[in-house]
A and B are shown apart, each in its own frame.
Chain A
Amino acid sequence: MIVARTRVVDEYAEDGEAVVLLADGQVIALSPLASSVLGELAEGPQTLETLAARLVAEYGAPPGDADAVDTTRGVVDELAAQGLLVSSP
């Protein structure tokens, strides 16, 4: 799966928190994890696996037996539902 950012009209970050303005006027405050995902994709699309590996490097492995790629997919799906990411198989 390839994950890419959609175009945002504006974004603002301060103290590790970020907020983005979408073209439809919606403004969304992002969690630190969501900010990191968007930050990792700032340079261009990534595969889900690469994205997961980078998040593990930043935050460590997800707790328990959770799989990093599955956890990342969950975050990506959430951000895609908000219109911040698109993914293609």
Chain B
Amino acid sequence: MTASSTARPTVAVSALGVRVDVDLPDHAVAESFARAWEACLQPDNGDCVDMRAHVTGEDLAEHSPDSALELLTQRVTIEAIGARAGQLLMFHACALADDAGRAVVMVGPSGTGKTTMARTHGRRWRYVTDETAAIDVDGALLAYPKPLSVSREGSVKAQVSPGDAGLRVAREPLRVAKVLLLERREEPVDVEVRPVGTVPAIARLAEHTSYLARMERPLARIARLLHDTGDLLTVQYAEAADLTPLLADLLGEGESAR
């Protein structure tokens, strides 16, 4: 973070392997932003990524701090996804990993409760992301431990760092062990898990990707992921906590059981 008192503050974060330089409207917002993004801060001296993007928050001076942070978090993700279009297989998904780096990717549309899923299980297992699960051409899953958007009163959400949310952050290298497609129900239901064959699974998963058409042979990329991890499982459930036994099956017992 550049802490000059006269210039507009800038914070550099690492998102999906992209260095994103974020201009903040003032120092107070910069401090909150850096805290929320603490698990993704880009070290000033180390430039280990070769892609850069830029987000400006200068237009957000009139917004409340929570609102400015929410918009900035969205902008960082949008810029990072755009920068990696055509390179990474990117799912709208949350992901959790065990201590050995084996991860479960849980794909679902907005409103499925991906953030709740990550918050519920990110202590016992490790938090990878609550929004974008990105897989490179070698099958490695990228950690994207962005802030979690947590509802406060009103419509604006607070951006909370995984550390402040009490979560353990996953560290790379990460490999996908299983892909789940979340189907949350409003009414109480028993957890129901169904395998889906490769070709229909590709069609189901493709709906929840970003920039698929920009990739080289994207459908074969999804097929390879499924060949490596076994059938896609659709998971019908009502509450995030209902999936504890399934995750324990897939990732081992995790921290609390030791």
Binding site for B on A (CB under 8 A): 9-15, 17-21, 23, 25, 27-29
In the bound assembly, the distance between CA atoms of A27 and B199 in angstroms comes to 11
Specify the chain B residue showing the minimal Cβ separation from A22: B213
Contacts of B203 in A (CB 8 A): 19, 27-29
Closest 10 CB pairs of A and B: A27-B206, A12-B219, A17-B199, A29-B203, A19-B202, A9-B213, A10-B219, A27-B203, A19-B203, A19-B199
Partner of B219, one of A15, A25, A27: A27
Check B206–A21 contact: CB distance below 8 A.
yes
Beyond A10-B218, A12-B223, whether A23 also contacts B199 by CB under 8 A is no
Specify the chain A residue showing the minimal Cβ separation from B210: A25
B39 CB → nearest A CB, Å: 31
B82 on the A face (CB < 8 A): no
Contacts of A14 in B (CB 8 A): 198-199, 223
Give the interface SS of chain B, mostly helix, strand, loop or mixed.
helix
Interface size class of B (residues with CB under 8 A): 10 to 19
In the bound assembly, the distance between CA atoms of A17 and B199 in angstroms comes to 6
A30 CB → nearest B CB, Å: 8
Contacts of A19 in B (CB 8 A): 199-200, 202-203, 206, 219
Contacts of A28 in B (CB 8 A): 203
Contacts of B218 in A (CB 8 A): 9-10, 21
Task: Identify 11 residue pairs between A and B in the complex whose beta-carbon atoms are under 8 Å apart, listed by A's number.
Answer: A9-B218, A10-B217, A12-B223, A19-B200, A19-B203, A20-B219, A21-B212, A21-B219, A25-B213, A29-B199, A29-B202
B136 on the A face (CB < 8 A): no
In the bound assembly, the distance between CA atoms of A9 and B197 in angstroms comes to 22
B137 on the A face (CB < 8 A): no
B220 on the A face (CB < 8 A): yes
Check A23–B213 contact: CB distance below 8 A.
yes
Contacts of B58 in A (CB 8 A): none
Beyond A10-B219, A12-B220, whether A17 also contacts B200 by CB under 8 A is yes
B207 on the A face (CB < 8 A): yes
In the bound assembly, the distance between CA atoms of A60 and B96 in angstroms comes to 50
4 extra interchain contacts, Cβ-Cβ under 8 A, other than A19-B202, A23-B213, A29-B202? A12-B202, A13-B199, A14-B199, A25-B213
In the bound assembly, the distance between CA atoms of A19 and B226 in angstroms comes to 14
Contacts of A12 in B (CB 8 A): 199, 202, 219-220, 222-223
In the bound assembly, the distance between CA atoms of A13 and B219 in angstroms comes to 9
Specify the chain A residue showing the minimal Cβ separation from B223: A12
Contacts of B217 in A (CB 8 A): 10
Contacts of B197 in A (CB 8 A): 17
B200 CB → nearest A CB, Å: 5
Contacts of B202 in A (CB 8 A): 12, 19, 27, 29
Specify the chain B residue showing the minimal Cβ separation from A29: B203
